[in-house]
Structure 1
Amino acid sequence: MPLLRVHLDSDRATARRVLQLHHEGRIHHESREAAREQAWRQGRTPAGDPVFVGITNGRRDVQLLYDVEVYSDATR
């Protein structure tokens, strides 16, 4: 199944918290659900839970990065 990379706008404090939780093997549920909703908004159907892959290194605008496995588009 294809992966969809989702970028979520965030502030630095939240991004640090999500990264810390990831290092502890835990999940930031709010951002994971936001990633799932973003996949739906892009017209894709999530096939599983979004996986946190990191944060951007922007000075002003920080984004959380998630990979969301989505179903392939079936055309006939």
Structure 2
Amino acid sequence: MPLLRVHLDSDRITARRVLQLHQEGKTHHESREAAREQVWRQGRTPAGDPIFVGLTNGRRNVQLLYDVEVYSDTVR
């Protein structure tokens, strides 16, 4: 199944918290659900849970990066 990379705008405090939770083996549920919603808005159907892959290094705009497996034959 193909992966879709999702970029979510975030503030630095939230981004640090998401990264800290990831390093502890935990999940930031709000951002994971936001990634799932972004996939739906793009007309694709998620095939699994979004996987946190990192942060951007923007000085002004920080983004959370998630990979989401999607079904290849679905477009809403």
Quick one: which amino acid aligns to residue 64 of structure 1? L
Alignment of 1:51-62 (within 5 A): 51-62=51-62
What do residues 5-42 of structure 1 show as CA deviations (whole Å, max 9, x unaligned)?
A: 00000000000000000000000000000000000000
TM-score normalised by the chain length of structure 2: 0.96
Match of 2:34 in 1: 34
Unaligned runs of 5+ in 2: none
Structure 1 vs Structure 2 CA RMSD = 0.7
Counterpart position of 1:21: 21
> For each residue in 1:40-69, what CA deviation from the matched residue of structure 2 results, as whole angstroms up to 9, or x when unmatched?
000000000000000000000000000000
- Give the structure 2 partner of residue 70 of structure 1: 70
Q: Which runs of 5+ in 1 are unaligned?
A: none
Which 4+ residue blocks in structure 1 deviate beyond 4 angstroms? none
Aligned to 1:4: 4
Give the SS at the match of 1:6. Answer: strand
Quote the offset at 1:73 in angstroms. Answer: 1.9
SS at 2:63 equivalent:
strand
Structure 2 distance, partners of 1:23, 1:61, is: 22
Sequence identity percentage: 88
Q: Distance in 2 between matches of 1:10 and 1:61?
A: 7
